[in-house]
Structure 1
């Protein structure tokens, strides 16, 4: 009997996806027991449309371009068809329904772990799903019960202090941020004149 496939879910707006996201996703799949990492593109909340947030399809296109040469990385649209606002606990339940043979795990930065106790039904997530945490430079510490929790695995990934906000600002100011983006993503942004 073969064991079920372990899928790490890496959520984000990916506005735009950059080499930091790609490095973390690839590190998680290569240096942990995950079989694949799905980059779950979070749709914009229709009630909170941000001017700086590109359309869902454009952000998805960039994620697809970024991962197409990585066999173990996939772009996921699972949240596009779920009710807004999206809650991780709902997304996980939905994925289990449609992929009963897969075991889903969460990937999050250390900064998110610190606010995890504020997530909707976080106890349910913690009880049912493994969580893989990558390091981030940030203040504060997680809740004491999360520090040595058996469902939480800390993965010693590179610390990537690169943000989509920084990249958007750089583009707006006419800076050359090309090394911070996967090449195809850079070409697409440049061609479409995004974030100017």
Structure 2
């Protein structure tokens, strides 16, 4: 089985994430998409994140109607801060019959050469790339790489940051979040301060 790993802090997960994940599940050769909730991205401030459990629960709420999309807390069990290469090694050991691939936006692909052991990742795993607005010029090292697959998914201009800031300003963001997720955010008064 081919599993696409879609990493993110998902703070919160929103319809843009779901559109990309569903597109990958339906229009690529990936069998399942695992939404890997990142407890702490080495490049982000931890104090801006909701508690890990709440973000994981929101991913459960958002994906329950999508049988090919699964929440994953695999990184919660790994030493922090964690790196993708370590997660991939852990998953391959735990699920040896699965073939794991990465899903990322073009903007992340352009910085892949800065990732820890990125050559090892590219030697052992496929990377599925979706388009992003203003992602910059393609890194020539990856332009024709056999392990990198561009998928013509819709271009989504919604960000979790925009949603958090909008909630703080008391704007209506209900169209950008699945209903059950919005109810959970409202009930817990998340992102108000």
User: TM-score w.r.t. structure 1 length?
Assistant: 0.94
Structure-1 residue corresponding to 2:63:
67
Instruction: Please provide the CA RMSD for this pair.
Output: 1.3
The answer as to 2:4 corresponding to 1:8 is yes
Matched ranges for 1:1-196 at <5 A:
5-44=1-40, 50-196=46-192
Indicate conservation of the 8 Å contact 2:106/2:135, yes or no. Answer: no
CA offset digits 1:144-181 (Å, max 9, x no partner)? 12001000000000000000000000000000000000
Give structure 1 regions of 4+ aligned residues with deviation exceeding 4 angstroms.
none
User: TM-score w.r.t. structure 2 length?
Assistant: 0.96
Post-superposition shift, 1:85? 1.0
Structure 2 counterpart SS, 1:70: coil
Post-superposition shift, 1:141? 1.9
CA offset digits 1:103-156 (Å, max 9, x no partner)? 000000000001000000000001110000000012422321200100000000
Distance in 1 between residues matched to 2:120 and 2:179, nearest whole Å:
39
Indicate conservation of the 8 Å contact 1:12/1:42, yes or no. Answer: yes
CA offset digits 1:169-196 (Å, max 9, x no partner)? 0000000000000111001001111000
Q: How many residues align?
A: 191
Seen in structure 2, the aligned counterparts of structure 1 residues 170 and 139 have a Cα distance that, compared at 3 Å, is: same
Indicate conservation of the 8 Å contact 2:40/2:82, yes or no. Answer: no
Gaps of 5+ in 1: none
CA offset digits 1:27-56 (Å, max 9, x no partner)? 00100000000000000369x764431000
**More divergent stretch after superposition (135-144 vs 182-191):** 135-144
Distance in 2 between residues matched to 1:176 and 1:123, nearest whole Å:
43
